[in-house]
Chain A
Amino acid sequence: MSDSIDRENYSDDYILDILKNNRIVAMVGASPNWVRPSYFAMKYLQSKGYRVIPVNPAAAGEEILGEKAYASLSDIPVKIDIVDIFRKSDAVPPIVDEAIAIGAKVVWMQLGVRHEGAAAKAEAAGLRVVMNRCMKIEFGRLSGELSWSGINAGVISSRRRKLIA
């Protein structure tokens, strides 16, 4: 995508296109602790048909939600579509460098995670970027599921809502 994105004010179409056309996610910072946000997101995305591969040096070799965890992105033996980052913002640049190196198509930074410089670098390398959003929440928002919890999805439509398939 060559046209520059209004960062953090992504159109619904932009997010939807990413969610629809990418199914293999490497989750950097995935936690084996079942009350952590990354665990929530991983479990939810799995239930929606995504394959989520955990990246966490402390848990490398262990299984999280049935998937083997790796120490780094470059250790993963399968091709990754989305690199989903559950780390502090200042930890983002080397992860983005690795995402570019392994040929990922999208860098997704979770709620509260932002790095303009790394985002620009990823975009320059042809990746698409989402910052400060949660993949689970965006999936829920655009499929109508988030509205089940009384959250303002900001969607006005006279058409039946369809789950993202």
Chain B
Amino acid sequence: MSKKNDAFGFETRAIHAGASPDPVTGARSTPIYQTTSYVFDDVDHAASLFNLQTFGYIYSRITNPTVAVLEERVANLEGGRGAVACASGHAAQLLAFFSLMEPGAEFVSSRNLYGGSITQFQHTFAKFDWHVHFVDPQEPENFRKALTPKCKAIFAEMLTNPTGIVIDLEAIASIAHEAGIPFIVDNTCASPYLCRPLEWGADIVVHSMTKFLSGHGTSMGGIVVESGKFDWGQNDKFPSMTQPDPAYHGLTFYETFGDFGYTMKTRAVALRDLGPSLAPLNAFLILTGIETLPLRMERHVANAGRVAEFLAGHPAVAWVAYAGLRSSPYHELARKYLPRGCGAVFTFGVKGGYEAGIKVVESVEVFSHLANVGDTRSLILHPASTTHRQLSDEQRVAAGAGPDVIRLSIGLETADDLIRDLDQALAAATRKSREAAE
């Protein structure tokens, strides 16, 4: 079939991209290549592989056939050129920055991130002498104002976790490009079914595949996807891409691999030397999850809409922050960037603050009280006492994780059951706070 790839629909690509039948056995499902290493034909073949002069497998820390199918699948769904999968979303962030940053380098990031990312950027990255400037992402100009000559990237989450802010992708991408640096978007909460940031000017997309891509709460995984459109040679900010690499016998990645040079660099140096490779079994489970991504996201969105409407009308609820609600300040941006829906992760405020919040999460029977999102199961969390616990009070409020905030990740159960469960939990929390008041 000579039809061009982009002529195939998303659903077809979610099932087929990267996964032609095994050339040797004809196995139709992607086999789990549970092997650490691969034989060389001869010494010259080995040398060609180590030098990156030929395509092929050496060692599963760097490449693995099952993982490669997943990489191509996600690259395809995001409309990217190539991708590097790794052990977790956190590893994906580390790898994505490793190919851009040098000691002393800086970047500007949205302050509305998953709590663990804030900690990673602020404290752990500082040990590499990389420094972050956090800004409120609701005003794109904030990113421009925070840029310094040492900045190598702008980073933001699309559909921020947990606050559900919809960022203006196009505007922020222009600011990054005017500064000659790439725009990195964490697309975990939207998934490529709901939003494809590369189509709006982003240059690199990262995911925690642990969430909606996998979709079943079974497997950790992360991925870095490159658009192939960023010109690394436009300035001297990215020596790691444009200068001979001493970690690779003087190879110049951008010149040698062109529009997938960043992917090759991220794999051949960052993944190779930092080592957070993805297990083949996890890649298989995530691939299986992605096959049903379109169906699942439709139902996640439909269920989330039902639950959000219910909460918005509940007397024990102070507010609901779901971009899918007409009352949301992000409704207009959501119509532009998320026409198929605003995902299934959102927050609400329970009247009665910290104590009431804890009572709600301890009273649910169908929702699971745990720290994850994007599962078939509905999940509930009180960020102030869990994921965002390590932040200061001020940071917590800025990140949308204040004392009364409850985060939901709406799963694929019967919507009425989810509503009934929250209703009884809110009743229990209200009873409790009324007793406390008496």
Q: In the complex, what residues of B have CB within 8 A of residue A154's CB?
A: 4-6, 76
Residue A165, interface by CB 8 Å = no
Q: How far is B22's CA from A162's CA once the two chains are assembled, in angstroms?
A: 10
Q: Is the CB of A145 within 8 A of B8?
A: no
Q: Is the CB of B20 within 8 A of A144?
A: yes
**A159/B20 contact (C-beta < 8 A), A47-B54, A150-B75, A152-B82 known:** yes
Q: Max chain B CB contacts within 10 Å: which of A35, A44, A111?
A: A35
CB distance from A68 to the nearest CB of B (A): 20
Within the complex, which residue of B48, B85, B263 is in contact with A47, where a contact is CB–CB below 8 Å?
B48
Residue B255, interface by CB 8 Å = yes
Interface residues on chain A, number (Cβ under 8 Å) = 35
Residue B133, interface by CB 8 Å = no
* Chain A interface helix/strand/loop/mixed: loop
Q: How far is B267's CA from A148's CA once the two chains are assembled, in angstroms?
A: 12
Q: Is the CB of A43 within 8 A of B48?
A: yes
Complex interface bits, A76-89 against B, C-beta within 8 A gives 1, otherwise 0: 00000000000000
Q: Is the CB of A151 within 8 A of B2?
A: no
- How many inter-chain residue pairs (CB < 8 Å) link A and B? 118
**A150/B26 contact (C-beta < 8 A), A37-B256, A145-B55 known:** no
**A148/B249 contact (C-beta < 8 A), A43-B54, A44-B48, A156-B16 known:** no
Within the complex, which residue of B16, B20, B53, B267 is in contact with A44, where a contact is CB–CB below 8 Å?
B53
Residue A20, interface by CB 8 Å = no
Please give me the residue from chain A that is nearest to B249 by CB atom: A35
Q: How far is B85's CA from A131's CA once the two chains are assembled, in angstroms?
A: 31
Q: How far is B28's CA from A157's CA once the two chains are assembled, in angstroms?
A: 11
Q: Is the CB of B5 within 8 A of A35?
A: no
Stretch at the interface among B63-71, B213-221, B314-322, B382-390: B63-71
Q: List 25 A-B contacts (CB under 8 A).
A: A12-B4, A40-B256, A43-B48, A44-B53, A47-B54, A144-B20, A145-B56, A148-B55, A148-B68, A150-B67, A151-B72, A151-B82, A151-B260, A152-B17, A152-B72, A152-B80, A156-B3, A156-B12, A156-B16, A157-B20, A158-B16, A158-B20, A160-B20, A160-B21, A161-B21
- Residues in B lying within 8 Å of A, measured CB to CB: 1-6, 8, 12-13, 16-18, 20-23, 26, 45, 48, 51-57, 63, 65, 67-69, 71-72, 75-76, 80-85, 244, 249-252, 255-256, 258-260, 263-264, 267
- Residues in A lying within 8 Å of B, measured CB to CB: 11-13, 34-35, 37, 39-40, 43-44, 47, 111-112, 134, 137, 140, 144-162
